[in-house]
């Protein structure tokens, strides 16, 4: 199985879009590659390449649906409640139609539907993920401070690389810590893997037709 984590940015901001690929080997995710500055076309090509090799599971850090009428989806409210209970900030979960989120939501919806239409040799499945919640929900109370500061602090991201290794993501190069988007893409892959095997910490199931993908951490 190949597991892909995508930290998506808005459609005009390819430079902050990062994709990681891992291969499941003996109960561990072995690092394969990390690519940044990714357009939609480049993401689709990478997904197709990986799907020729094995089953592909994708975790996407972006809203893959929105609430008719705007504001929070039910899943956003539930996840915000969950993250606050474990000690994270409520602002880490934002409504998909919020001004600063709406372009990311647009790209997430478009890209997920394009991936779903790809012809592939092996199955492709997708889940919406929240990297901060994926990390925070698997940390001890003493470690939780790291999830609150890693986006601004290189040294904390280096700590998180070791933490990801403890979570059985092996072989990640030290350069991944240089930007938070790469850490988020690795965490997205971690969340997608746990979703696939049923060991998620929190999950909101898909509700067709308006919310076609599970959301988990």
16-69, pLDDT tens digit by residue?
999 999 999 999 999 999 999 999 999 999 999 999 999 999 999 999 999 999
CA atoms within 13 A on the CB side of 166: 9
pTM of the model: 0.96
Element (H, E) at 22: strand 18-25
pLDDT value of position 119: 87
Coil, strand, or helix at residue 4?
strand
Residues 6+ apart with CB under 8 A from 117: none
Let me know how long the chain is: 217
pLDDT per residue as tens, the chain (217 positions):
999 999 999 888 898 999 999 999 999 999 999 999 999 999 999 999 999 999 999 999 999 999 999 999 999 999 999 999 999 998 899 999 998 899 999 999 999 999 999 988 999 999 999 999 999 999 988 888 999 999 999 999 999 999 999 999 999 999 999 999 999 999 999 999 999 999 999 999 999 999 999 999 9
Cα R_g (the chain), whole angstroms: 16
What is the residue range of 85's domain?
Answer: 2-216
Give the number of domains in the chain.
Answer: 1
pLDDT value of position 13: 85
Q: Facing residues of 28 across strands? A: 25
pLDDT value of position 142: 87
Report the C-alpha gap between 144 and 83 in whole angstroms.
11
Cα torsion 117, 121, 127, 133 to 10°: value is -140
| Strand order across the 203-204 sheet | 169-170, 28-36, 18-25, 2-7, 56-61, 124-129, 215-216, 203-204
pLDDT value of position 123: 97
Element (H, E) at 7: strand 2-7
């Amino acid at each position: 199985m190949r597991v892909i984590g995508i930290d998506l940015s808005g459609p005009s901001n390819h430079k902050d879009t990062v994709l990681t690929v891992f291969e499941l080997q003996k109960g561990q995710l072995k690092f394969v590659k990390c690519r940044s500055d990714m357009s939609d076309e480049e993401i689709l090509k990478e997904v197709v390449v990986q799907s020729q090799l094995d089953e592909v599971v994708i975790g996407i850090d972006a809203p893959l649906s929105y609430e008719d009428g705007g504001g929070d989806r039910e899943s956003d409210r539930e996840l915000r409640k969950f993250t606050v209970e474990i000690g994270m900030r409520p602002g880490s979960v934002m409504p998909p139609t919020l001004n600063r989120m709406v372009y990311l939501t647009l790209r997430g919806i478009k890209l997920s539907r394009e991936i779903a239409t790809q012809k592939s040799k092996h199955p492709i499945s997708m889940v919406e993920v929240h990297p901060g919640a994926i990390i925070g929900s698997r940390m001890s109370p003493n470690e939780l401070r790291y999830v609150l500061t890693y986006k601004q602090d290189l040294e904390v991201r280096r700590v998180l690389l070791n933490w990801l290794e403890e979570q059985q993501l092996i072989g990640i190069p030290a350069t991944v810590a240089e930007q938070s988007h790469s850490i988020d893409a690795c965490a997205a892959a971690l969340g997608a893997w746990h979703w696939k095997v049923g060991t998620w910490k929190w999950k909101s199931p898909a509700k067709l037709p308006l919310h076609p993908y599970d959301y988990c951490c």
